[in-house]
Structure 1
Amino acid sequence: MDSSSSLLTVDQRIIELEAEISATRFAKRWIVAWITLGNPLLIGAIVAGNLLIDFSKPGSGRSALNTLGPIAVIISIVVSVLFWNAARTYEREKSVELLQAQAERRSLEVTTTPEAATSQPFQEYYRSIPDLRDEYRRSAERYRGRHNLFQLTVIVGSILTSVSTTAAAEQGIWSWIAVGLSALVSISAGVIAYFKFRERSLNLQQTADSIDLEMQAYSLRIRRYRSLSPDEAPAAFAEEVERIREEQRKKELQLEQPPEAVPQQRHQPL
């Protein structure tokens, strides 16, 4: 098997591992959502049952609710934690395999990519770019997950707050539940507005995609590299990647600025 075929095989393996890791992380997010939201809802249902159900009627025994309910909650907590731990272990194993495959790919790239005939510093620089791109993508995924979690909290909390406010007319404890849920919604909305997880995720994903496109253009000698000599292409590639990284740093600094600072800068006199 020649070097190009080996590189293609490694690339396919990397794609498969990334897909498995992505699916595992998606499953972990649902498990965490159930741990943080599903189990409290079960506990809330038991509490609401004790408050709202008239146990003086025949066939509505309080002991059945308070026996089967806690058992269901305990089973749910134990099973969800076990599933989360199994998913985390599987993700770690696949992450190690992915790192090994990426290291193998970098070793194959030394002889199969255009930078093989360039200087040693540029070879090291070029081999570091895939790791940089993947780090941007991982960071984008982390911020996306945080945004989705807090946004889900706002949506579910808003619905439960409305329900609790309606029920508070008959049961006094629901007014306290409504207050707590309202505070949780306000805190989550404040965290989303302050940390700007969605904007950070979008910027990082765009930066990773730009670096990936630049790597493909350099490898295929297309776009800006079509008319460049073998000595000029590496310098042009490095300059473009550094420009993309600089833009990403500027975007991060802009997100750190308070919202009221932007209009003031725009209206400064010339």
Structure 2
Amino acid sequence: MTDPVNPLSGVTTTDLLIEHRREIADLTQRIKNRRLQVCGLYGTPIALVLTLLMWAGSKIFIWLNSDTPSAINNIFGGVAFILGAATVAQMMAEFSDATPWKDSETPVRELRLELSLAEERHVLEARRRTPPPMDRQASYKERIPGEIARLRKESRHYRRVHLTMQWMLFISSAAISAVTAWYDPPQPAKGALIGLGFTVTVVTAASGYFKPRERAFNLQQTADNIEQHTTALELGIAPYSATDEMQNLELFATTVEGMRAEQRMREQQLDQPQQGQQQVI
């Protein structure tokens, strides 16, 4: 099915919506860049002043009656030179006519206002040119493979985190016993024992709090279920064996959204304390 066309300009609805999304993405990136520019513009001179004060303070309070070591002077002098050069470069980039910065002398609030207006234009344009339900459901179906890939990527990430934590526990626990048995008394290895015991405690607490194994299992299960329904829709088998394609797409979108909502609910339950999980369950 072809996209509706604007009779005045001949531009399709898809092209217009894509252009709005590009404008929103561009403004979002410009806001991030401008925030970094402002932080550097004001933060670098402050860091320079603090460095000079620390340099002077170390001379006054530590080496008042003697010469400051050359290493200390070299460190403070090098840091001050770098910060001074960065300050001058940023000032030139901000206030010079031939500035390399795209949004120099532009407040962040003005860019955020432009972003809000662009998002409002996108919403109004999308509402005015909303395609029929069957087209939206077909488009939703085409986005499902990306959602499955995202779920599996996150599942692999949490699985790797879980395996890393388990191996750290195995190695640290075994090393504690080995070091304790090797040194008697364990005075030469007291630092190693403290570090290994600290590692075991931290990893155990982090594993119990963040629950990477459960998160990986839930994500993988949701991805497999969505893929199963996607395959059933493509093959036209139950529960998507109706002769009306629009009915199949509607059922598919409803089922997948239910699975995604259930996945989000499971993630919220994992983020809650144990007592809160029992109340929710």
TM-score class normalised by the smaller sequence? 0.5 to 0.7
From the superposition, tell whether residues 251 and 236 of structure 1 become closer, same or farther in structure 2 (CA, over 3 Å): same
Partner letter of residue 193 of structure 2? A
**Aligned pair 1:149/2:164, yes or no?**
yes
* SS of aligned partner of 1:224: coil
CA contact (8 A) 2:134 2:246 kept: no
Which residue of the other structure, out of 194, 198, 208, is the alignment partner of 2:213?
Answer: 198
**Aligned pair 1:160/2:175, yes or no?**
yes
The list of structure 1 runs, each at least 4 consecutive aligned residues, that deviate by more than 4 angstroms after superposition, is none
For 1:207 and 1:265, how far apart are their aligned partners in 2?
20
Partner of residue 123, structure 1: 138
Deviation at 1:264, TM superposition (A): 4.8
* SS of aligned partner of 1:260: helix
For 1:251 and 1:263, how far apart are their aligned partners in 2?
12
Which residue of the other structure, out of 236, 248, 253, is the alignment partner of 1:238?
Answer: 253
CA contact (8 A) 2:134 2:249 kept: no
CA contact (8 A) 1:167 1:174 kept: no
Partner of residue 73, structure 2: none
Partner of residue 83, structure 1: none
From the superposition, tell whether residues 251 and 174 of structure 1 become closer, same or farther in structure 2 (CA, over 3 Å): same
For this pair of structures, how many residues does the alignment match? 150
CA contact (8 A) 1:143 1:198 kept: yes
Partner letter of residue 231 of structure 1? M
For 2:274 and 2:228, how far apart are their aligned partners in 1?
32
CA contact (8 A) 2:218 2:263 kept: yes
Identity among equivalent positions (%) equals 31
Deviation at 1:228, TM superposition (A): 5.0
For 1:231 and 1:167, how far apart are their aligned partners in 2?
72
Which residue of the other structure, out of 192, 217, 221, is the alignment partner of 2:232?
Answer: 217
* SS of aligned partner of 1:173: helix
Q: How does 1:7-156 map to 2 (within 5 A)?
A: 119-156=134-171
For 1:167 and 1:205, how far apart are their aligned partners in 2?
43
* SS of aligned partner of 1:161: helix
Deviation at 1:165, TM superposition (A): 1.5
Unaligned runs of 5+ in 1: 1-117
* SS of aligned partner of 2:245: coil
From the superposition, tell whether residues 160 and 134 of structure 1 become closer, same or farther in structure 2 (CA, over 3 Å): same
Unaligned runs of 5+ in 2: 1-132
* SS of aligned partner of 2:219: helix
From the superposition, tell whether residues 156 and 134 of structure 1 become closer, same or farther in structure 2 (CA, over 3 Å): same
CA RMSD, Structure 1 to Structure 2 (Å): 1.9
For 1:124 and 1:257, how far apart are their aligned partners in 2?
35
Deviation at 1:265, TM superposition (A): 5.5
Larger radius of gyration: 2
* SS of aligned partner of 1:226: coil
Which residue of the other structure, out of 136, 159, 184, is the alignment partner of 1:169?
Answer: 184
Partner of residue 12, structure 1: none
* SS of aligned partner of 1:202: helix
TM-score, normalization by structure 1: 0.53
CA contact (8 A) 2:173 2:200 kept: yes
Deviation at 1:180, TM superposition (A): 1.0
